[in-house]
Amino acid sequence: MTPPNTNAEQQEIRKKTPSDFIFGKVIGEGSFSTVYLAKDVQTNKEYAIKVLEKAHIIREKKSEYVMREKEVLRILESLCPYIVHLYSTFQDPGRLYFVLTYAKNGELLKHINLYKKFNFECTRYYSCELVLALEYLRSKKIVHRDLKPENILFDHNFHILITDFGSAKIEKSEDNDINDGTEDDDVQQSNRRRNSFVGTAQFVSPEMLQESKSSYASDLWALGCIVFQMASGQMPFVGGSEYLIFQKILRLEYKFPDGFDERIKDFIEKLLVLEPTRRLGASDETTYVSLRKHEFFEEVDFDDLGPPPKLS
């Protein structure tokens, strides 16, 4: 006979409900969700709870993206230190709830703006964490497709936590057949961008704009843009409208500010390459060896990055 569950086990198994948490301030807002800081009544632990209004999701035909985000976060469940963790999901008649890691120190964007730009050491450290996070995503066959400094959060120890997998794609492979049409998925993503582009256009890769195609290399393009922004405080592709930004991306029209570190410059130039297969790392197999061995990361031990440097 099976012994009865212990109290702790029963709590683990039982689906949480909104009344298991005390909801606090709003810490994030998107077009289709609001993120609240919340405290687990039992454990006093803090979480970020993403709340989505079902009626709004259905009306705006975004169910697929919500389901995708949940599916991707489930795939990423085997705790990578650099990705927000999905602890549980539940719903009430009107809303869906995603219980996520609380990133106490907010968006990378906020900190870049606060310090105007990062120094070499900080730029290199967070570039390393991003490389490790991208290696992990690729090992799980996930392309994020919307990496930008607003979607990179800092935890209580100032390590990065990548969030917002609502635009992510699960790459098809022999042993992972969840996605039954990666091209369709890209086309849908492209339509979504054209018809209702929300947020920032500055990090979109040329192949996503031009051919409705994305791959791991699209995240490498975004990495190039993010490293540029950390090192200079500016985005590489800016313009008065989305159209003008897209034009600049497709023409690879960007300039490094004076005094830009030569090693970082070379690294970015090798990522901001129009042809995705020619980007640094695009042909790497398991780890991003060619990124790891670039001179920008000379002296870095990717197996032990150590604690983050003080921001400046």
Query: Residue 34: which H helix or E strand, with range?
Result: strand 34-40
Q: Which amino acid is at 216?
A: Y
239 CA to centre of own chain: 23
- Smallest distance from ligand ADE to CB 115, Å: 19
Name the residues that contact ligand ADE, by CB under 6 A.
27-28, 35, 48, 84, 100-103, 153, 163
Task: State both tokens at 184.
Answer: 């369709």
CB 184 within 8 Å of CB 172: no
Q: Which residue is catalytic, options 146, 164, 185, 219?
A: 146
Residue closer to ligand ADE, measured from CB, 73 or 225: 73
Residue closer to ligand ADE, measured from CB, 168 or 209: 168
DSSP string, 111-160: HHHHHSS--HHHHHHHHHHHHHHHHHHHHTTEE-S---TTSEEE-TTS-E
Residue closer to ligand ADE, measured from CB, 29 or 175: 29
- Smallest distance from ligand ADE to CB 66, Å: 15
- Smallest distance from ligand ADE to CB 85, Å: 9
Q: Which of 52, 40, 16, 35 is nearest to 103 (CA)?
A: 35
Residue whose Cβ sits closest to ligand ADE: 28
Active site residue 146: yes
50 is annotated as contributing to ligand binding: yes
Return the active site residues.
146
Residue numbering of the annotated binding site for ATP = 50
Binding residues: 50
